[in-house]
Amino acid sequence: MIKTVNGGVCAPIGFKAAGVHCGVRKNKSKRDLALIVSDAPCAAAAVYTTNLVKGAPIDVTRKNIADGKAQAIICNSGNANTCNADGIEVAEKMCALVEEAIGIPATDVVVASTGVIGQPLDITPIQNGMPALVADLSEDGSQRAAEGIMTTDTRLKEIAVEFEVGGKTCRMGGIAKGSGMIHPNMATMLVFITTDAAIDPTLLDRLLRGDVQNSFNMVSVDGDTSTNDTVAILANGRAGNPTITAEGADLDAFAEALAAVTTYLCRCIAKDGEGATKLLECRVSGAATHLTAKTVAKAVICSSLLKAAMFGADANWGRVLCAIGYSGAVLDVTKIDVAFASTKGRIEVCRNGAGIPFSEETAKEILLEDEILIEIHLNDGEEKATAFGCDLTYDYVKINGDYRT
């Protein structure tokens, strides 16, 4: 049974976190440097962006956790450290600063950066900010760390859950940042997950890679895949459970907890899309294959026309059918049913691929809510999938029109 608890990435035993303003960002009211530390070595795994242009921290992190181990995460916001001639050197120096400050080997540090692409990252403010960052480390520091990795985010993205493995109570926590340039493929934005459960690193890696296919890979805000997307997880085993090394009830419990954390963070990211006013959740059922269900759900959530219609609370269900039609999924369009729902109710708008009479007034009332469910039934099988997105508003253009300046 999964139970939500407080504490974010510090909820699991043995983890501390911190977040401070060091000066990477000009706005002194914004934290721009975060640190997460375990008091014991951890099994570690991560997935990354598939964009060919990658932030330098990804190369360094990939190298550092190649042995399946890590003990700390350091991340700055305000500068992505991407497309810089000295990017690798700067990312490695960030890891070295952690070693100098708290003794954890630089090769056991996950490093990440987020912000503007193509601008040199000066290590000086990070170096000068390390004493304050280390001094800020505490068991209630998750929120400050979450604030330290935010860029255009307007909402904190943090969760922790409690679950049982091998007769022991375990915890898992996560923080995330992500608001724009979100259309992941293998990972998303920046997500850091901690747990005190003990699990084999190879199994942890496999589990994380499988989870993101149905969680973060099913989120889209604007169709742009970031250069710095990273999802990293650290498991320090401090809960004392027998190490999970194979399939079975313990692995299932761990996977369920991981899915609870990632799905929650997916919803947070989608709802906080740049300029967004609404969370869109597309649930596809009755598909012949899981791939078909995923393909349809993602196509609908990515449709700019559909996203704009949702912003205007316009029940333009034809845009749903249009997106399904160009998705590439193999299906019978004459079997498709569509409905819209929210806390204000549910209304069917399409049956067997054709429009049906419905009240435009009722539909508008439903679509004026800030969380909209798009239900699609393909009536062709038993498979299902869910994708998360947001509406497309005037403010998205405003935010990105002067993002760099």
Residue type present at position 183:
H
H or E element in which residue 126 lies: helix 123-135
Length of the chain as a residue count:
405
Residue type present at position 77:
S
Helix%, strand%, coil% for the chain, nearest 5: 35, 30, 35
How far is 106 from 96, CA to CA, in rounded Å? 5
Token look-up 């710095």 returns 228
How far is 90 from 226, CA to CA, in rounded Å? 20
Catalytic residue list contains 188? yes
Token look-up 């039934």 returns 377
Residue type present at position 344:
K
Residue 241 has phi, psi (to 5 degrees) of -75, 155
Give every CB contact of residue 230 below 8 A, 6+ residues apart in sequence. Answer: 46, 47, 48, 49, 57, 58, 61, 110, 112, 187, 190, 191
Q: Return the HEC string of 181-197.
A: CCCCCCCCCEEEEEECC
Considering the candidates 188, 194, 292, 386, report the single residue annotated as catalytic.
Answer: 188
How far is 95 from 108, CA to CA, in rounded Å? 8
Token look-up 């998303």 returns 188
How far is 143 from 138, CA to CA, in rounded Å? 11
List 373's β-bridge partners, or say none. Answer: 281, 341
CA neighbor of 226 nearest in space, from 18, 403, 91, 44: 403
How far is 296 from 291, CA to CA, in rounded Å? 9
Give every CB contact of residue 27 below 8 A, 6+ residues apart in sequence. Answer: none
Give every CB contact of residue 301 below 8 A, 6+ residues apart in sequence. Answer: 218, 220, 280, 282, 387, 388, 389
DSSP 243: P
Supply the residues annotated as catalytic. Answer: 188
